Amino acid sequence: MNQEKTILIVDDSKLNIRVLSDILKEKDYRIALARSGKIALEFVEMKKPDLILLDIMMPEIDGFEVCARLKSDPETKNIPIIFISGLDKSEDIVRGFKAGAVDYIVKPFQKEVVLARVNTHLKLNETQRKLKRKNEELKELLNEVEYLSFHDEMTGLYNRRYFENELDRLASSRRLPLTLLVADMDNLKVVNDNYGHKKGDNYIKAAADILKKSARQEDIVARIGGDEFAIVLPETGFKAADKIYRRIKENLSSYNQQQEPVEPLAISLGFAVKTQKEQSLDQIFKLADKMMYNDKGKSIYSKLELEQ
């Protein structure tokens, strides 16, 4: 275990380096040496040690400065640093901790003290790294759970739960107009009955892609049922909603021309616009749904807008 840990000793005294090296070698730590702060910084830039024993009183760059530089670098800030010094004044000790050191060993060195503190901070640092990894894994897992709870697994669109949550959130919004667009696939049952549900799933994915492609980045596109979809168009009036409606129809036509599916991909659409705060989104949805049913099987569509 200890052979995997590298400890950098930074001291301009050959005697101190020899004493510390002899103590640490008893526990089979890998030892790296630096006789100055400058050399220490160069070493750490190339290879990150697991712990640093850092002398304070050194020429050119003292230990406080070396520590401050290492702690200011995101790549090295988590390396534990233990100061070693003949200084035992409280102000020097406090200054060392403020610079970012985790501990302080006063000369002359006592083997039991050196080994105990080195071992403690290596273990603490390893535990912190493990905890960080676990937290990152947990965060990824929670993000995945949150994603799955609000997204449709097949299409990647938002699901009905998210859609309904958004309607609740937007119910009292003053940021109007707001448009709800609903979409329903016309011949999914025919595809499922004649070509199988796998082919039907491909039709659902294609419909989802067309709706997503036709919508804007700020729009909320959701699959709210087996072959039913809905789009929330925030701060969108009739003219802009009609433009998106036509874009969906055009993209649908292009898909059928380019892909030549065994059955044409057909999607009926309808939308309605909320222009006043008092209007119910449930009512708006019903109006959009009504327009969608009027659209089924027609090459032209009826425009439906809530009266001012």
Query: pLDDT, tens digit, for every residue of 53-73?
Result: 999 988 889 999 999 999 999
Contacts for 200-207: CB closer than 8 Å, 24+ residues apart = 201/154, 203/261, 203/263, 203/265, 204/154, 204/155, 205/154, 205/155, 206/255, 206/259, 206/261, 206/265, 207/183, 207/265, 207/267
Give CA–CA dist 54/112, Å, rounded: 18
What is the arithmetic mean of pLDDT over 275-287? Answer: 94
Query: pLDDT, tens digit, for every residue of 185-206?
Result: 998 999 999 999 999 999 999 9
Give CA–CA dist 186/54, Å, rounded: 74
What is the arithmetic mean of pLDDT over 130-156? Answer: 94
Pairing of strands 220-223, 228-233: antiparallel
CB 65 within 8 A of CB 92: no
Q: What's the confidence (pLDDT) of residue 297?
A: 54
167: pLDDT strictly greater than 70: yes
Give CA–CA dist 143/203, Å, rounded: 29
Query: pLDDT, tens digit, for every residue of 12-50?
Result: 999 999 999 999 988 889 999 999 999 999 999 999 999
Q: What's the confidence (pLDDT) of residue 86?
A: 77
Give CA–CA dist 36/54, Å, rounded: 10
Q: What's the confidence (pLDDT) of residue 174?
A: 86
In the chain, what is the straight-line distance between the N-terminal and C-terminal CA atoms, in Å? Answer: 76
Q: What's the confidence (pLDDT) of residue 308?
A: 33
Separation of CA 5 from chain center: 32
What is the arithmetic mean of pLDDT over 110-124? Answer: 95
The three-state secondary structure class of 48 is coil
Q: What's the confidence (pLDDT) of residue 172?
A: 85
- Biggest CA-to-CA distance, the chain: 94
Delimit the CATH 3.30.70.270 region(s) of the chain: 160-295
- Counting residues of the chain whose pLDDT is more than 70, the rounded percentage is 94
| Burial class of residue 127 in the structure, from the number of CB atoms within 10 Å of its CB (0-12 exposed, 13-18 middle, 19+ buried) | exposed
Closest by Cα among 23, 199, 33, 170 to 109 = 23
Delimit the CATH 3.40.50.2300 region(s) of the chain: 2-138
162: pLDDT strictly greater than 90: yes
139: pLDDT strictly greater than 70: yes
Q: What's the confidence (pLDDT) of residue 303?
A: 37
89: pLDDT strictly greater than 80: no
282: pLDDT strictly greater than 80: yes
Q: What's the confidence (pLDDT) of residue 66?
A: 95
What is the arithmetic mean of pLDDT over 112-136? Answer: 94
Give CA–CA dist 294/288, Å, rounded: 10
Q: What's the confidence (pLDDT) of residue 299?
A: 40
Q: What's the confidence (pLDDT) of residue 198?
A: 95
Supply 44's token pair. Answer: 């750490």
Query: pLDDT, tens digit, for every residue of 218-247?
Result: 999 999 999 999 999 999 999 999 999 999
Higher-confidence residue: 86 or 1? 86
In degrees and rounded to multiples of 5, residue 167 shows phi and psi of -65, -40
Query: pLDDT, tens digit, for every residue of 148-158?
Result: 999 999 999 99
CATH 2.40.10.480 correct for 2-138: no
Q: What's the confidence (pLDDT) of residue 3?
A: 58
Higher-confidence residue: 210 or 173? 210
Q: What's the confidence (pLDDT) of residue 173?
A: 86
CB 104 within 8 A of CB 117: no
**Class of 160-295 in CATH:** alpha beta
DSSP 66-133: HHHHHHHSTTTTTS-EEEEES---HHHHHHHHHHT-SEEEESSP-HHHHHHHHHHHHHHHHHHHHHHH
Q: Which residues pair with 178 in a beta bridge?
A: 274
Q: Indicate the pLDDT class of residue 295, thresholds 50, 70 and 90.
A: confident
